[in-house]
Amino acid sequence: MQAINPATGELLQEYPEATTEVVDQALTAAVEAQNRWRRASFAQRAAVLERAASKLRQRREEFARLAALEMGKPIREGRAEVDKCAWVCEHYAKHAAAMLTPEEVASDARRSFVTFNPLGVVLAVMPWNFPFWQVFRFAAPALMAGNAGLLKHASNVPGCALAIEEVLGDAGLPKGLFRTLLVGSRAVEAIIADPRVAAVTLTGSEAAGRAVAACAGAHLKKTVLELGGSDPYVVLADADIERAAAVCAAARLINSGQSCIAAKRFVVERAVLEPFTALFVEHMRAARVGDPLAEETQVGPLARVDLRDELHAQVQASIARGARCLLGGEIPPGPGVFYPPTVLTDVAPGMPAWEEELFGPVAAIIAAADAEDAVRIANDCRFGLGAAVFTEDAARGERLAAEELEAGCCFVNAAVRSDPRLPFGGVKASGYGRELSHYGLKEFVNIKTVWVG
């Protein structure tokens, strides 16, 4: 397993893959550790997560640099990611006990109530784009609920994967309760099938989600899937166009455009299409592309060469079918897996920019006749992860977000983002289940009825 710097192509380090014997030992150790951990008090569990948060902040610079080297994340964004991991640890340390308090329910029993017991060992199959946050987003609630965790991280971020295990171990998590398994995708099916695994969570591509769901379903294992997205940002004629253009451009370029909830499609009422497009292109052109370790960099390299090649093919196919390229659209010369901020307009059905997820700094601008048409276009997509609407009419924006847009997370006059206090997840081909908030905490528990006569 190799870690390669996408900014230079340099081989950073090679790691031996875990053997089947190592995986088997990890599963046995996780079961044994979880049997003890499930009996630990919430205060004991919280103390571990609070120490993990402290250690994350102490090593913020180290981990931000590691993410920059392994997958190209701009260093400033890496620091923010590590801080967010600390936040989610502290959030569940503080609130999990109350969220999982047994609930009394009136019935014809002398007493009836609902308890929330851990399921056991949870396998997490995680992506490279937010190599720390995606893992802690699952691990903090799962561990506070009394579960064990096994991490199969993306193969291009092995250093980040091992660092997470180290942080949790240094924070006092019992040995074996959380383990990183350096295995490839081919090993996942056998791990899911193992009776010692109780449930699976995956963040990744639609194809990976289908494969994991099929395997888990065959073995009757609970799953939570957070898959791809092609988030629409609807810009209505009454929006603050300058603000909307700035927010939309920043939302498209988050993590160099490599985010499931990055803005992808910009559906703009025709009355403001021209001024919005001009301002949006200005913001995209001004974004600084370069070395992810440089403080001024806003857009780093894509994570792998194959990903850049796929993105460029989508851009070229869209142009061949009638889209106009207003900015970018060409692979730059020189080393590194860079792709420039790119803006496509005249995007229409049948083009990859309309139909598919563009995982990189490529924006698709789509004209809508009016607000009703804009919502129709926004929903004309197999994905449903995030969405946003920009309007100066707050009540109108709230209604469209709450009732009309088909997505798991809908924002008004702001970019879509995740927050430990709010549920996160999608509908349609973006997956099912929820992470974060009390909804995410209860995904991997046995919601048990107790009836006392």
Contacts of 323 (CB under 8 A, 6+ apart): 344, 345, 346, 347, 348, 351, 353, 364
* Residue 260: active-site member: yes
Catalytic residue among 70, 77, 81, 226: 226
* Three-class SS state of 395: helix
* Residue 85: active-site member: no
Pair of tokens at residue 144: 């506070």
Inter-residue contact 127 to 426 (CB < 8 Å)? no
Per-position b or e across 57-79, b if 16+ CB within 10 A of its CB: eebbeebbbbbbbbbbbbbbbbb
Pair of tokens at residue 420: 């430990």
Residue type, position 327, single letter: L
Please tell me the distance from the alpha carbon of residue 136 to that of residue 61, in angstroms, as a whole number. 17
Tell the residue number behind the tokens 């003890």, with chain if given.
36
Catalytic residue among 248, 260, 409, 410: 260
Label the pairing between strands 427-428 and 383-384: antiparallel
Inter-residue contact 306 to 298 (CB < 8 Å)? no
Per-position b or e across 139-149, b if 16+ CB within 10 A of its CB: bbbbbbbbbbb
Pair of tokens at residue 270: 């025709």
Catalytic residue positions? Answer: 226, 260
